[in-house]
Amino acid sequence: MSWQQMTISLPDKLYYKIGEVAEVVGVKTSVLRFWESEFSFLKPEKSTSGQRLYTKNEVDLVLLVKRMLYDDKYTLEGVKKRINSKGRFINTDDLEHAIINQDREKGVLKEIRQELIELRALL
């Protein structure tokens, strides 16, 4: 079953308090707060009283993180590499493509740096 096929029983509302999310997901609130500090894509809004308020999308992300960490045995870094800062899942092909592009860009930057060093030597 993919993470997108997981269903949870949440009341139909705009925001869910951290305690509700923790209960549905099956982790402690302290775990959710820790994940917020680790993953840039988990940033629930806060009420005027400081209560964390999660959207349905954020609850889905929490479920995905839990599955990746507990079931699929990803590390924290592994999760960070598979979910971008906007909370979008990066598939393996996209990840490989990004790594290839990053390597190519590094090569171009090295060439530019070398050319600049040579130009500076001419001055």
Q: 56 and 36 in one domain?
A: yes
Q: 109 and 71 in one domain?
A: no
Structural domain boundaries enclosing 116: 91-123
Q: How far apart (Å, rounded) are the C-alpha atoms in residues 70 and 8?
A: 17
pLDDT digits 0-9 by tens, 66-100 = 999 999 899 999 888 888 878 877 765 655 566 56
Q: 100 and 72 in one domain?
A: no
Give the position of tokens 């992300």.
Answer: 61
Percent with pLDDT over 90 in the chain? 51
Q: 76 and 100 in one domain?
A: no
Q: Are 87 and 61 in contact (CB under 8 A)?
A: yes
Indicate the SS3 state at residue 110: helix
Which helix (H) or strand (E) segment holds residue 30: the answer is helix 29-38
Please report the beta strands in the chain, taking only residues with DSSP state E, as ranges in sequence order: 16-17, 45-46, 52-54
Residues near 43 by Cβ (< 8 Å), separated by ≥ 6? 36
pLDDT digits 0-9 by tens, 54-73 = 999 899 999 999 999 999 89
Indicate the SS3 state at residue 117: helix
What's the Rg (C-alpha) of the chain?
20
Q: Are 27 and 66 in contact (CB under 8 A)?
A: yes
CATH of the domain at 80: 1.10.1660.10
Q: What local confidence, expressed as pLDDT, does residue 105 receive?
A: 77
Q: 84 and 72 in one domain?
A: yes
Assigned token pair, 5: 């096929």
